[in-house]
Amino acid sequence: MSPRPTGIIVCINDRFTASKPSCARGGSVAIADALEQAIAERGLALTLERLHCLGECALGPNLRLAPGGRFFHHVKLADIPAILDEIEKELG
């Protein structure tokens, strides 16, 4: 069982080569902004960290629960409420 999440890591990597996928080109910066706002609105005890690579670019945009939690791949802005609902359940 993974430890209780205390944060969310959002990959904001933008590769220089246009032919290679990157989380930033998939909208991860806007996702990070929206997550920060939604975390504050819900009053969740979570931090948000923007990281330049989670090593899963082909599956991005990517999030990961911290510490050492699961990944969320192919994230879209519309997914944020459901993702936070799941995290809230894990927090109890």
Q: What is the largest CA-CA distance in the chain?
A: 42
Quote the CA–CA distance of 55 and 90 in Å, as a whole number: 25
Measured CA to CA, the distance from residue 46 to residue 64 in angstroms comes to: 12
- Does residue 58 sit within a domain? yes
- pLDDT value of residue 92: 77
In a domain, 2, yes or no: no
pLDDT interval class at 2 (50, 70, 90): low
DSSP 8-state symbol, 4:
P
The total domain count for the chain is: 1
Question: Which domain, by its residues, includes 27?
Answer: 7-91
- When pLDDT is cut at 50, 70 and 90, the band that residue 84 belongs to is very high
Helix ranges (H only) for 12-79 are: 28-42
Q: 29 is written with which tokens?
A: 């910066």
Residue-wise pLDDT for 30-59, tens only, equals 999 999 999 999 999 999 999 988 888 889
Contacts of 88 (CB under 8 A, 6+ apart): 42, 44
Kindly tell me the sign of the dihedral angle through the C-alpha atoms of 83, 86, 90, 92. Answer: positive
Residue 52 lies in a domain: yes
